[in-house]
Structure 1
Amino acid sequence: MKTYPFISYHEIQGATNNFDGSNLIGVGSSASVYKGTLSSGTVVAIKVLDLQSEQVCKRFDTECEVMRNVRHRNLVPVITTCSSEYIRAFVLRYMPNGSLDNWLYKEDRHLNLLQRVTIMLDVATAIEYLHHSHDTPIVHCDLKPTNVLLDEEMVAHVGDFGISKILAVRKSMAHTETLGTLGYIAPEYGSEGIVSTSGDVYSYGIMLMEILAKRRPTDEEIFNENVSLREWIKKAFPRTMMEVVDANIFHEEEKSLPKVNFA
């Protein structure tokens, strides 16, 4: 089991210039993420949890428990943690290329087909490790593009284990009141609160469709209670698949190919 070096609240304050807004790189429903520089000179991402919620404090304990038991090249590395009456925070390796979500939906960023397939292979490797490399399987519970971060070489790392579940030995599923993100959670998870490794596989499948179609499963212009991303793509397969696949996949792929002179 991994242990982490001690870091003080004071050092985290200094690393983020007292949590200055210019260092804020992400805001979620239960945490804010700051870019910071430790006294050693190491550039890090510091995930600060909102202490207003008792549920968030439980998520911190859950994430600590999971991260002490895992280590893999496709998981976001935790450098250390900080827990005091003032703060609950994770100090993480900084990922300069941000999230997969940003690469899919920001106008100034594009991913070609090879990059998308490689990223999803990295994610699959991480999930396979969580499910099968321990005596007790670990279920992520909240797989989605915002929880996939890309390093300087565009290698994907899965992060945010705040609602993960460590399944009991010899049990393949568990009941929970904690939900993931609508659009990505498996039907049995949302309706019955059943968590299993199969739920992560379902979320992975939704992500794979999303990354190829460049459509959020929560896109209200296309999807509703009658038509989901999964059903939309299933209906298009195989005859009209080119109508649902993101055209930029091939556009960017062609731009990256060397030009051939036939003269």
Structure 2
Amino acid sequence: MFREAGPRKELYVPDAAELVEVLELSPKEKAFKFKFRDDRELGHRPGQFVEVSVAGIGEAPISISSSPTRGNIFQLAIRNVGAVTNAIHKLQPGAVVGIRGPFGNGFPLKNLEGKDILFIAGGIGLFPLRSLIQYMIDKRASFGRAILLLGAKSPAERMFTDELASWASNPDIEYHETVDIADNSWKGNVGVITSLIPKIQFDAKRTVAVVVGPPIMYRFVVGELKKKGLDDENIIMSLERRMGCGVGKCGRCQINGVYVCQEGPVFSLAQLRYLREAI
């Protein structure tokens, strides 16, 4: 069913990974910690994804939510939206799933080194962006300013709240957060995530914005970033949608001849200008 150990040689054969821990994030989202049976590292880059298979159910592409700097246990944050993700949500520690990958290009780490990074995450866009945030924290000396803008629909839909608190208290991170709709417990900013952008100042010549969120968010965030003077090459986005096989065979993720699972899911705005309907 699943390969037990050894270097990955076959793209289509999943490797066995054991579920180590489950973290409840919300009624619809959970974070799952996995490790391979042979204790090897996943070998991913921030921004990549894996294909997760559950025996007898199927397979689904899932973004990797943890940094490769965090050892041989990798984390996948998953919303329960279909047959495969529903089956994963029912798993308990000790269960075994199949993992293919990692796939995709990931975030351009070499291009980001030495730059000021503006992280913008809307909703569960935090899941893939978290891998890059963790990477930046673990290799802090390799980057300039770190500015985090995070948005959620409501306080109840904030994810990884303990980690958010640690980022907010980190003196090396400029942390800003908002919710669309507040409740009586919320004392922070209220409004969509684009309302945070005019409030911050940065050097457009040395800043790269990395943006992940729902498709509708991108055009409004891009509009605000362009007002700040950011070049298209310095606006990086991840197209977390429509992927299937992960290896460019099924065609599900194709946009005007470009396979998102292979050439993406990470693109610069300069690249996306030539892909109609991409954002």
TM-score (norm 2): 0.24
User: Greater helix share, 1 or 2?
Assistant: 1
More strand by share: 2
Structure with higher Rg: it is: 1
